[in-house]
Amino acid sequence: MNATKRLAAEFLGTFWLVLGGCGSAVLAAAFPSLGIGFTGVSLAFGLTVLTMAYAVGHVSGGHFNPAVSLGLVVGGRFPAKDLLGYVIAQVLGGIAAGGVLYLIASGKAGFDVSAGFASNGYAEHSPGGYSLQAALICEIVLTAFFLIVILGATDGRAPAGFAPIAIGLCLTLIHLISIPVTNTSVNPARSTGVALFVGGWAVQQLWLFWIAPLVGAALGGVIYKQVLAKD
């Protein structure tokens, strides 16, 4: 597939993930009387991946996440030479979605981007007040299992055609577990896309939401390749 089309697919897929997932958190999670809550936000993130995996997965592989791209390199499913281009496209897609979401959200009187804007955080910026250590462990472990599910669902031995469903439901489950801990990242592009508009503490804590998902993804790639892949 043409490289430009693959990068465009990653840009669009990541844009949709951030707009759909973070948009549900910013615009709908606590909407008066009809708020969708943590469960709805978790489902929204899962649906973004599921829908775009079917829409453009055949073009780019449907990563939409720098950590996923790295994990697939480590797992032997993606060429390392293409990693940087994918990461740049994903981050740009996340930032573009953050910009569109900011334009929508700021259309309401009283909007305050410093209130969080679906940014990820730890300690006093964790939704549940969880520590740096707790956030680090949570993001590493959940990203590792996300990669194990992705690699397993897309394995040639797995039932054909169902990978996007498994992956989308896995991301939903991850959010159900970890929104109270970090607001759930497992995706550096998702974290960057909103943190840049918040600035301050969100940018200062962004390092964790790059390092932990990348470490977890690499760990998941190693586990699948060494323990679960076909001999």
Query: When comparing pLDDT for 31 and 151, which is higher?
Result: 151
Domain that holds residue 136: 3-228
Residue 126 has pLDDT above 80, yes or no: yes
Of the pLDDT bands very low, low, confident and very high (cuts 50, 70, 90), residue 136 is very high
pLDDT at 15 (0 to 100): 98
Give the separation between CA 121 and CA 127, rounded to whole angstroms: 8
Q: What is the tens place of the pLDDT at every residue in 68-79?
A: 999 999 999 999
Q: What is the tens place of the pLDDT at every residue in 31-61?
A: 888 899 999 999 999 999 999 999 999 999 9
- Domain count within the chain: 1
